[in-house]
């Protein structure tokens, strides 16, 4: 079950793209039954994006990104599940928050982007995964 707000927390405007909604539905379909996906951020207006620390060309501005977590799963288990959805071209792992979460986006480029934010610093996903997993 998807829980949370997908419109902007600031102005309550905006919406998620159909492509992102379909990718989220695909994610929900392969989640363990009864597990909830909690949205921490969906669409953002420019003002809210800046306040949230988002980059100037954030996919959130275009309704192509969502940040979420699953309270019943370790963040790395959720990451493993999300990696199975090919529509997610951008996947960020945020582990330096009170509640670790994933950024998932359906950016228009074919090039995949993977990153991790830890202690306020963005590092390539592969680098952080080696430290976390091994």
Question: Taking the model in full, what pTM does it have?
Answer: 0.89
Model confidence over 97-127: pLDDT tens digits? 889 999 999 999 888 899 888 777 878 776 6
- Domain 2-133 grouped into CATH 3.30.1380.10: yes
Model confidence over 46-95: pLDDT tens digits? 999 999 888 899 999 999 999 999 999 999 999 999 999 999 999 999 98
Given this model, what pLDDT does residue 118 score? 78
50 CB-contact burial (10 Å; exposed 0-12 / middle 13-18 / buried 19+) = middle
134 confidence band (pLDDT: 50, 70, 90): very low
What are the sequence ranges of the domains in the chain? 2-133
To 10 degrees, the CA torsion angle through 41, 117, 59, 50?
70
């Amino acid at each position: 079950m998807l829980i949370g707000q997908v419109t902007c927390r600031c102005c309550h405007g905006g919406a998620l793209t159909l492509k992102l909604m379909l990718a989220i539905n695909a994610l929900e379909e392969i989640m363990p039954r009864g597990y909830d996906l909690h949205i921490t951020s969906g669409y953002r207006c420019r003002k809210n994006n800046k306040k949230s620390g988002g980059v100037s060309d954030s996919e959130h501005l275009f309704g192509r990104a969502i940040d979420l977590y699953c309270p019943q799963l370790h963040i790395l288990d959720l990451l493993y599940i999300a990696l199975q959805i090919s529509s997610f071209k951008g996947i960020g792992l945020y582990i330096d928050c009170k509640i670790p979460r994933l950024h998932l986006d359906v950016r228009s480029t074919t090039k995949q982007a993977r990153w991790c934010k830890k202690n306020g610093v963005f590092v390539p996903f592969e680098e952080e995964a080696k430290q976390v997993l091994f």
